[in-house]
Chains A and B, each alone.
Chain A
Amino acid sequence: MSIENYSQTKAVALELFNVQLAIDDQTILQALSFDLAEGEILCLLGPSGCGKTTALKTIAGLAMPQQGQINLFGDSVFSDNKINLPAEQRAIGFIFQDYALFPHMTVGQNIAYGLSSLAKQEKQQRIKESLDLVELPDLEHRYPHELSGGQQQRIAVARALAPKPKLLLMDEPFSNIDGQVKRRMMADLRRLLKEHNISCIFVTHAKEEAFAFADKTAVMINGHIEQLDIPAKVFNQPNTVAVAEFMESGNLATLRHSQQVLDKIPHQWPRDSDNTGYWLFKPQYLTLSHSLQNTGIELIDTTYIGRGYQHDIAIRLNNSNNAPTIIWKAETESPLDFAIGDNIAIEYIQQPHWLQE
């Protein structure tokens, strides 16, 4: 099933249109526009400082843009300074990177904080439900500092979900949790969100988290979304060089600058396209072979990466011996039977992805 069909069957949870935000003349968000369908999990992925946390705070009403429009379930919550619904009225759940649990309150009091409109008994019931939801039913009377990092994160989830928000925002929610625990928590949380049909945006700089957790991924560079699609497509078919470089999608070559490089690859695909673009060569589709001729390509390093081997190869940009080189990556399942420093020939067994510049 394609993601487009999936989106069309759902109501729109959130729309951003041309949101601009600058602090002291420095542009943080630049013409930010995207949609989020109900029940969908979107990952805002990007390098640190790209504005992804600000984007999240803008949606929550914690930061005020200079212009643009934000609609939440069809209602405008921000519109060019004419409408600006305060954060406390937006009914958005927010999970902070440091969890921001109130240190002087027990877990129960933390969860009850957002439930002041409920009657006492209802409130107690909701606290219990929320704790059950994150599978920590016995922690109600503990203080945050008595909990482990993973427990704190789950209490933060419980607190954010207790008022039953229509949209959940998470700022690097997994960055303080390591390894095994993180993978299990991501799976648990994803299941929880899907079961309750909660729309969610989460922010991270780790593409593995986007792959594991998100339905869709938006790559943000310099306050602007470069590409929004399902994670696999963003990774394999990046729209721009910036996305390809951030995702580490593969080796880039442009006809304009590295004609020589491309000439070294036997080609089975049309190369007569315009010069204004890049070819993307995935490391796993590059095959390397030992060559006795001077190919101008040399193996310079090999690293074991668990599922196989990664090789750095230096490609000389012209035929002279001290010509500048570019470094490409190649991956193989088994070790190569030749040594570092050897001359090699390369082949590409697929059609490379074309990026229009």
Chain B
Amino acid sequence: MNVKPNTGPRIAGLILSASSAIICAVMLMPIIALIFESLSSFFIPAAEIDDTFSDLADSVLSQYILNSLTIVAGTLLFACLFAIAPAWWCARYEFVGRRYLQWMMVFPLAIPAYISAYIYTDALDYAGPIQSSLRQVFSWQSPHDYWFIDIRSRWGASLMLGLALFPYIFLLLRNTFEQGSQSLSQAAQLMGASPRKIFWTIHLPLARPALAIGCTLVAMESLADYGTVQLFAISTLTTAIYDSWLVYGSLASAAKISCLTLLFVISLVALEKNSRKKQQHFDSRGGKPNDKIKTSNAKTSFIWLFCGLVFCLGFLIPLITLIGYCADYWLENINGDILRHSQSTFVLATTAAFIATLLAILFNSQQRFMPGPKNQTKLSLSSLGYAIPGTVLAIGILIPLGQLDIWINHFIQWLGFEKVGLIFSGTSFALILAFVIRFSAISNGSIQAAYKQMPTNLDAASTTLKASKFKTFSKIHLPIMRPALITAFLLVFIECVKELPASLLLRPFDFETLATYVYQFASDEQLEHAASGALLIIIVSLLPILLLSRTQRMR
């Protein structure tokens, strides 16, 4: 029921409403800046147009687009291959070790694709252990004597990304398969359907929306990937943006490619929205969840073989290799740099996570107290950043902040003082802004879910017991959503620690986050010397998975 507010401290409400509108505008600024920058070349005299973009468009841009799309398609293929069958097995069968396996399949999420990419390149290299031992066994002399897979290719990149991203699909599908109401499959069974038919006609169609959401996530992440493709020297839209700015110094061309990338993202999101609309109809809650079927020994072995292989490739091998690097090069790995960068990453991620959580509380509580299209729009807009690839977002932030710095310096000079330098675009401010814009969707989601579970009657009860809105918020809402607040903070924190492309573009001079530090070493073919940093990232990334597994087990 629509419960309208009537009075209350109006001024406080107005201030909150205005500030949330301003914050929303700031969060939208990168997209607006990108569009503006891309279009502005039409209004500039021909002589001044920098034609990096037209050069690109004439020559290699189509190849870049093709590369990006191939990698997205390839990643989806691999991710579905690794995710769908294990999700079904873990949801519907009972076998030895299922409880462990269903969480082991999520662990690969903690390994950034570029780290796997580095490790497998190293291992499958001409000089690497595998080819060397093959040459020894078969006494081959040169690369001409045999054919060997080339991991540094589009399909190799897809495989790496697929291994790192498939758990998204796995998690969503497993939940859907598990929640599928038992009465539905029993009804089908009573009408004479075989288990195979029930899977294809009941369970898979019901899981389609979840599959679509998972695939969209994977597609967006692989489209946004920078680390892996750069390591493999594959030119895609994201590397083109990066190069346009850092190599050619053309912000306009970077903005144009960014807009192009955004077009792909928008189509992906549109596809997902469409599938989510259908989920409403498919939602079959209330039914008793499915009982798990006991499997035979042969089937159990097969399941473990398949899932174990995926787990080893996606998690265990990279992890052990990193530990090996650490042991071999422990002097290089334990040094002041790592400590310093961990510290600065911690401060940065904590700040960004704190702000993102605070904003999520602001936007969501506003929608709670004053439900309506205006506040809903603010909420949705503040979550938009998640869809923007890091590289694109970084360019979108550089444009307005750079301009702002120029104005400020002009102004200061005009006042007769020394220039202050790039106080916005050249400091951690830009990085924190990027993190907050990009990851607010995560904190929003967490708090939105908490609010959804909280009956609105609690607010009404509080009001009829003479409580002001502020009291309702501080005494009822905040305590009840404390777990959600912690989750929101932690998830954003972890994403910030892992974030690479935007950090690479926006980090201040002589400043590294753990991710950029590790990546620098990887791209210099020296990951061995930064393995401890990589391990730290992995350990931090494992946190939410362990948290998730604990809460789910409790249920």
Q: Which residues on B sit within 8 Å (CB–CB) of A98?
A: 455, 457
Q: Which residues on A sit within 8 Å (CB–CB) of B468?
A: 88
Q: Which residues on B sit within 8 Å (CB–CB) of A163?
A: 465-466
Bound state CA distance, A14 and B480, in angstroms? 35
A235 at the interface (CB under 8 A from B): no
Q: Are A60 and B467 in contact (CB under 8 A)?
A: no
What's the nearest-Cβ distance from chain A to residue B67, in Å?
49
With contact pairs A63-B3, A104-B479, A104-B480 given, residues A88 and B467 touching in the complex (Cβ less than 8 Å): yes
Q: Are A92 and B455 in contact (CB under 8 A)?
A: no
Task: List 4 A-B pairs, minimum CB-CB distance, nearest first.
Answer: A114-B465, A100-B461, A100-B457, A94-B464
Q: Are A62 and B3 in contact (CB under 8 A)?
A: yes
Q: Are A102 and B466 in contact (CB under 8 A)?
A: no
Q: Which residues on A sit within 8 Å (CB–CB) of B133?
A: none
Q: Which residues on A sit within 8 Å (CB–CB) of B2?
A: 23, 63
Q: Which residues on A sit within 8 Å (CB–CB) of B466?
A: 88-89, 91, 114, 116-117, 163
Contact of B8 among A54, A86, A92, A96 (CB under 8 A): A86
Contact of A96 among B4, B461, B480 (CB under 8 A): B461
Bound state CA distance, A113 and B479, in angstroms? 14
A37 at the interface (CB under 8 A from B): no
Query: What are 6 A-B residue pairs whose CB atoms fall within 8 Å in the complex?
Result: A60-B460, A63-B4, A86-B7, A102-B480, A159-B465, A163-B465
- B1-41 contacts to A, CB under 8 A, are 1-4, 6-8
- Number of A-B residue pairs at CB separation under 8 A: 81
Bound state CA distance, A60 and B462, in angstroms? 12
Q: Which residues on A sit within 8 Å (CB–CB) of B299?
A: none
What's the nearest-Cβ distance from chain B to residue A290, in Å?
46
Bound state CA distance, A160 and B480, in angstroms? 21
With contact pairs A54-B1, A57-B1, A63-B3 given, residues A113 and B457 touching in the complex (Cβ less than 8 Å): no
- A78-95 contacts to B, CB under 8 A, are 84, 86-94
Contact of B464 among A62, A84, A97, A116 (CB under 8 A): A62
Bound state CA distance, A176 and B299, in angstroms? 47
By the criterion of a CB under 8 Å from any partner CB, how many residues of chain B are at the interface?
A: 24
Q: Are B475 and A57 in contact (CB under 8 A)?
A: no
Q: Are B460 and A57 in contact (CB under 8 A)?
A: yes
B539 at the interface (CB under 8 A from A): no
Q: Which residues on B sit within 8 Å (CB–CB) of A57?
A: 1, 3, 460
B463 at the interface (CB under 8 A from A): yes
B476 at the interface (CB under 8 A from A): yes
Bound state CA distance, A94 and B467, in angstroms? 13
Bound state CA distance, A163 and B464, in angstroms? 10
B49 at the interface (CB under 8 A from A): no
A61 at the interface (CB under 8 A from B): yes
What's the nearest-Cβ distance from chain A to residue B458, in Å?
5
Bound state CA distance, A25 and B406, in angstroms? 52
Q: Which residues of A contact B (CB under 8 A)?
A: 23, 53-54, 57, 60-64, 84, 86-94, 96-98, 100-104, 113-114, 116-117, 159-160, 163
Q: Are B464 and A60 in contact (CB under 8 A)?
A: yes
Q: Are B462 and A113 in contact (CB under 8 A)?
A: yes
What's the nearest-Cβ distance from chain B to residue A161, in Å?
11
Bound state CA distance, A64 and B479, in angstroms? 28
Bound state CA distance, A151 and B3, in angstroms? 28
Q: Are B457 and A86 in contact (CB under 8 A)?
A: no
Bound state CA distance, A92 and B460, in angstroms? 12
Q: Which residues on A sit within 8 Å (CB–CB) of B1?
A: 53-54, 57, 63
Contact of A64 among B4, B462, B480 (CB under 8 A): B4
Q: Are A92 and B7 in contact (CB under 8 A)?
A: no
Q: Which residues on B sit within 8 Å (CB–CB) of A159?
A: 461, 465
Bound state CA distance, A134 and B123, in angstroms? 74
What's the nearest-Cβ distance from chain B to residue A90, in Å?
8
Q: Which residues on A sit within 8 Å (CB–CB) of B461?
A: 94, 96, 100-102, 159
Q: Are B475 and A100 in contact (CB under 8 A)?
A: no
What's the nearest-Cβ distance from chain A to residue B225, in Å?
42
Contact of A88 among B455, B463, B480 (CB under 8 A): B463
Q: Are A87 and B458 in contact (CB under 8 A)?
A: no
Bound state CA distance, A160 and B464, in angstroms? 8
Q: Which residues on A sit within 8 Å (CB–CB) of B8?
A: 86
Bound state CA distance, A62 and B462, in angstroms? 11
Contact of B460 among A23, A84, A100, A103 (CB under 8 A): A100
Bound state CA distance, A117 and B479, in angstroms? 22
What's the nearest-Cβ distance from chain A to residue B123, in Å?
52
Q: Which residues on B sit within 8 Å (CB–CB) of A97?
A: 457
Q: Are A62 and B463 in contact (CB under 8 A)?
A: yes
Q: Are B6 and A64 in contact (CB under 8 A)?
A: yes
Bound state CA distance, A94 and B464, in angstroms? 6
Contact of A62 among B458, B460, B475, B480 (CB under 8 A): B460
Residue of B nearest to A60 (CB): B464
Q: Are B7 and A84 in contact (CB under 8 A)?
A: yes
Q: Which residues on A sit within 8 Å (CB–CB) of B4?
A: 63-64
Residue of B nearest to A91 (CB): B466
Bound state CA distance, A104 and B450, in angstroms? 14
Q: Are A93 and B480 in contact (CB under 8 A)?
A: no
Q: Which residues on A sit within 8 Å (CB–CB) of B462?
A: 102, 113
- B307-339 contacts to A, CB under 8 A, are none
Q: Which residues on A sit within 8 Å (CB–CB) of B471?
A: 116
Bound state CA distance, A107 and B93, in angstroms? 43
Bound state CA distance, A228 and B44, in angstroms? 76
What's the nearest-Cβ distance from chain A to residue B402, in Å?
46
Bound state CA distance, A57 and B456, in angstroms? 13
Q: Are A93 and B464 in contact (CB under 8 A)?
A: yes
Q: Which residues on A sit within 8 Å (CB–CB) of B464?
A: 60, 62, 87-88, 90, 92-94, 114, 160
Bound state CA distance, A159 and B4, in angstroms? 24
